[in-house]
Structure 1
Amino acid sequence: MFTHRASRPHEPLRTFHPRRSPLGRDRTDALDRLFPRWGFSVDDERAAPPRTPDGLLDTAALFGRTAPLVVEIGSGMGDATAAMAAADPGRDWLAVEAHLPGVAALLVLLEREGLTNVRVAHGDALRLLRASVAPGSLDAVHAFFPDPWPKARHHKRRLVQSDHVALVRDRLRVGGTFHVATDWAEYAEQAAEVLAADPDLDGGVVPRPAHRPVTRFEQRGLDLGHAVTDLIVRRVR
């Protein structure tokens, strides 16, 4: 079930670098027990999510209720997602993560904290948005510390670029928000330019919102002197 699938020639370039890491006993156990209950695969039909008759993600069936939905693109080890979902139980949270250790770690947190408003998808978030998420259906999309792809020849793989931003904006409701955080200064500048260029989005750089917790990954960057930039834009039409 849990395999990395190589990009096909006709598919868009991935915005993440597939990697394999050991899971350990606790995380392996979490995947075996909890993934069938709280998770699904973007690519593997054997672990596909519930779908509506037109083939889109059936969020009411997935969460057991109808509520505003937040999508986390690249939820990492899940600590930020779990903290925000716990503080905001009126919304549902879909964490999409390509790396199994992060999927497993978040499942462990969900069980430990007793959270019922989070589900976890394993795979490429952009592929999920393209194929399975209805236009205008999301309350918010978060992308915290996406891979900066620092080498110039790899910039085309960055998450925040015009076609990806257009996809995210299309899936947001009018008034919905896209929140990006990065500790890579050059990426922050580029992201601000790309977001500002979309005429249907409004906003830009903001102070770190209190609702976004500082993760262990972010704290390591802060300890090294990295400046963190938060950008929040809202779909205006």
Structure 2
Amino acid sequence: MDRPVATFTIDGVTEDSNTPAAPAGVAHPRSIRSFVTRVGRVTTGQSRALEELGPKFLVPYKAELLDLASTFGREAPTILEIGFGMGEATAHIAGLMPEKNFLCCEVHLPGVGALLKRIGEQGLTNIRIIQHDAVEVLDHMLAPAVLAGVHVFFPDPWHKARHNKRRLLQPPLVANLARHLMPGGYLHCATDWQPYAEQMLEVLGAEPALENTASGYAAKPDYRPLTKFENRGLKLGHGVWDVVFQRQTARQSLAQKSGT
């Protein structure tokens, strides 16, 4: 069993943060991040994975466009994952889809170490990790229309009404994600908090570049596994909602404008 060997903290927004409100008119307030502060432990196995596999699979954050073909060593459709936690779903999906590249953003070191450990155990080659805020990665490292898909699974729901504005999936970010999707690319979100699911439907549905692939919530795609946490919640009667939207193609946009 892995033995804890280190602890860490990362500065960021917390539920009780005194972060000042963003100025009016700011398109994407700096107070909104793709993560919240957590304290965690890096185990010996995670530490070993960081040391041994980090040089190959970690991509340093730089405020310049990333050459995806060079980064992955091949040309392939690229999926961006925002906030992969401990990497259980990420490794599962990457194993199911070896023909696709997965660019994964997570700021918390134990999660990064855990995913690297899974990469080594499963022999995965199609994952690269950026240990940085996904919002800044989008803004500075990815070109428009370069992504085949985006996964946002179980982002922090910010349960309290006065904190809802800190939720990741706000109109400016959704517009930014849509801009980075290639025509026909998809945005798949999942949450176990119904009010957030309702907001997801509302915000994604209001983005003109996106179209819902279902009449409302989507059936869980086969590629997204049920995590231990999710299974436990379902046994307790908690719901899980998937929302899947697609970037419109030029033909779809034209048909929508013409009203046909």
Same fold (TM over 0.5): yes
Counterpart among 222, 229, 235 of residue 241 in structure 2: 229
**Residue of structure 2 equivalent to 1:197:** 206
Cα separation, partners in 2 of 1:35 and 1:3, compared to 1, 3 Å: farther
Calculate the TM-score normalised by the size of structure 1. Answer: 0.90
Calculate the TM-score normalised by the size of structure 2. Answer: 0.82
Counterpart among 222, 229, 245 of residue 217 in structure 1: 229
Whether 2:24 is the aligned partner of 1:11: answer: no
Is the Cα contact below 8 Å between 2:32 and 2:168 reproduced in 1?
no
Q: Deviations over 1:23-60 (max 9, x none)?
A: 12111111112111101243xxxxx5xx9xxx201111
Distance in 2 (CA, whole Å) between partners of 1:129 and 1:198 is 18
How far is the alpha carbon of 1:13 from its aligned partner? 2.0
Distance in 2 (CA, whole Å) between partners of 1:139 and 1:129 is 14
Distance in 2 (CA, whole Å) between partners of 1:85 and 1:97 is 16
> How many residue pairs are counted as aligned between the two chains?
226
One-letter amino acid of the counterpart of residue 133, structure 2 = D
How far is the alpha carbon of 1:194 from its aligned partner? 0.7
**Residue of structure 2 equivalent to 1:206:** 218
How far is the alpha carbon of 1:213 from its aligned partner? 0.8
SS at match of 1:205: coil
Structure 1 spans left out of the alignment, 5+ residues: 43-47
Whether 2:188 is the aligned partner of 1:187: answer: no
| Aligned-pair Cα RMSD in Å | 1.9
**Residue of structure 2 equivalent to 1:131:** 140
One-letter amino acid of the counterpart of residue 24, structure 1 = T
Cα separation, partners in 2 of 1:149 and 1:32, compared to 1, 3 Å: same
1:115-154 to 2 correspondence within 5 Å?
A: 115-154=124-163
Whether 2:119 is the aligned partner of 1:110: answer: yes
Counterpart among 50, 67, 72 of residue 76 in structure 2: 67
How far is the alpha carbon of 1:97 from its aligned partner? 0.9
Structure 2 spans left out of the alignment, 5+ residues: 1-7, 14-18, 21-28, 250-260
How far is the alpha carbon of 1:207 from its aligned partner? 0.8
